[in-house]
Amino acid sequence: MPKSIHELVDLMRLEEIEFGLYRGRNPQSGLQRVFGGQVLAQALAAAYRTVPLERRVHSLHAYFLRPGQYDAPLIYYVSQERDGRTFTTRSVTARQHGKQVFRLSASFKIPEQGLEHQDSLPPDIPGPDECPRLDGGPETERVYRRLGLPFLDVDAEWGVLDIRWVGEAQEHAAHPSAQRFWYRTNGRIPDVGTDPVVNQRLHDCILAYLSDVSLLTTTLVTHGLSFSPELLAVSLDHSTWFHRPFRVDDWMLFEQVSPSASMAVGLALGRVFQNGELVSTQAQEGLLRKA
Active site residues: 212, 235, 284
Q: H or E element: which one contains 283?
A: strand 277-290
Q: H or E element: which one contains 260?
A: strand 252-262
Q: How far is CA 244 from CA 80, 187, 197, 211, in A?
A: 25, 22, 12, 16
Supply the Cα-derived Rg of the chain in whole angstroms.
18
CA 102 – CA 136 distance, rounded (Å): 34
DSSP letter assigned to residue 228: B
Strands in 87-230 per DSSP E: 87-96, 99-109, 161-167, 177-185
The amino acid at residue 64 is F
CA dihedral of residues 15, 186, 181, 227 (deg, nearest 10):
60
CB 204 within 8 A of CB 44: yes
The candidate with the shortest Cα–Cα distance to 59, out of 103, 108, 119, 112, is: 108
The amino acid at residue 164 is R
CA 44 – CA 58 distance, rounded (Å): 11
